[in-house]
Amino acid sequence: MKILAIPRKNDKKYSFNLFELFRNYKNEVVAFWGLNTLQESKFFPNATHVKEFSILENKLDKILDDSTFDFLWNLGVNQEYLPYISQKAKKKKIFLIQTISDDAISYNKRNSISQAIFPEISYFSINKVIKFYSKDIDLFISHSDFLKEILIKEGIPEEKIVNIPMFVDAPKYIPYYKSEDYFVYRFSSSDVTDLKFLLKVMEEIPQHKLIIIADEKMSAEIKILADNYNLHNVLWVKNLNSAQNQDIVKLSRFSIIFSDINPQKILESYARGKPVLALDSGANREYVVNTYSGLLFKKNQEDVIKKIDYLMTNKNFCEDSGGFARNLAENCFDKQNHYRQIFNALNVLSQRKSPQLKKIELLNIS
């Protein structure tokens, strides 16, 4: 079984783990990392990108001409590649797979008037390039029924979509169920609104401590925000290595999660034996077993304050929830389960599209 895969730009860790998983089952995965100099186009490559795109085409052509692939798998938006790979997949009769990751979903900001007049309009939509080329894509992989429903509302046929939950390689994490008196929040530069909300919450609960871990360099806007909310119960940490960040999470009571599209942080917290306090919306309802692996909160100050206070004052509950969460990571969101579901989906696709496909061309599940 041979796959040419184009990894996610915004989640290389997931891509590396996925490729390692496939190779462990004796499948050949060629990862196309593209060109470091290639800039992202808005829809089609424009004139300023012609030279770079020509190099890209030549590089892909060489890979596709030198080897025969069963599947071409686009794991993120990668919108500068999609027009080209959709044509190549069709020409060479290769199945084209598209994973719907968090970067493939756009949030449509709507005011109260718009919501009242047009309640049928969704808050979410898929990337316009993926939607444009959807007819050329043989299979969409979503990581939740929530994302699957968005695809269906956007006009993608349900029979072309399969929901396969994300996975975490739990054995790579050593669980630690005891904790100190603080909880953690890991943020990126796109989380400014959530960060403001959380800091306002922390103003109301000075008895509880929060450590904020920066996933990247703090932007000027975040620095101003940190200065404006100079709270004694909030500690900002940045420029730490992976081991140092893990030690902070290891000793925490729980992790607070705002993203309702990307569940990866939830699963990593589970693998470390830590419960989560997650926003009660989107995909989180499919990954969090409320009151067992953590708690779900409504995005209002009263509810989140009540939930934080409960978790911070009930250490035993958090230890028990951490054990349950680790069990979920090992038995429900594990890599073997993930691989088996992908195998079944690609096997069904192969059988439906090419009845004469030889068994040796299918995924190796031994």
Domains of the chain, by residue range, sit at 2-167+334-361, 170-331
- The answer to whether 353 and 95 are in contact (CB under 8 A) is yes
Amino acid at 162: V
* pLDDT(239) > 50: yes
Mean pLDDT along residues 36-49: 44
The residues, any chain, with a CB within 8 Å of residue 196's CB and separated by 6 or more, are: 225
Q: How far apart, in whole angstroms, are the C-alpha atoms of residue 341 and residue 45?
A: 35
Q: Read off the pLDDT of residues 90-111 as tens digits, 9 standing for 90 and up.
A: 989 999 999 998 888 876 664 5
The mean pLDDT of the chain is 85
What pLDDT is attached to residue 241? 82
C-alpha closest to that of 274 among 214, 319, 307, 334: 319
Mean local confidence (pLDDT), 310-317: 97
Please state which of the four CATH numbers 3.40.228.10, 2.60.40.650, 3.40.50.300, 3.40.50.2000 is assigned to the domain occupying 2-167+334-361.
Answer: 3.40.50.2000
Check pLDDT > 90 for residue 62. no
Is pLDDT of 216 > 70? no
Between 364 and 307, the higher pLDDT residue? 307
Q: How confident is the model at residue 39 (pLDDT cuts 50, 70, 90)?
A: very low
pTM: predicted TM-score of the whole model, two decimal places: 0.85
Equal CATH topology for 2-167+334-361 and 170-331: yes
Residue 269 has pLDDT above 90, yes or no: yes
d(CA 208, CA 145): 35
Which has more pLDDT, 361 or 346?
346
Q: What is the 8-class DSSP label of residue 363?
A: P
* Selected residue with higher pLDDT from 274 and 9: 274
The pLDDT assigned to 46 comes to 46
Per-residue pLDDT, 356: 43
DSSP sequence for 268-332: HHHHTT--EEEESSTTHHHH--BTTTEEEE-SSHHHHHHHHHHHHT-HHHHHHHHHHHHHHHHHT
Domain 170-331, second-level architecture: 3-Layer(aba) Sandwich (3.40)
β-strand 105-107 against 124-126: which pairing, if any?
antiparallel
Specify whether the backbone of 11 is left (phi greater than 0), alpha (psi in -120 to 50) or beta: beta
User: Which residues does residue 19 pair with via DSSP β-bridges, in sequence order?
Assistant: none
pLDDT tier for residue 34 given thresholds of 50, 70 and 90 = low
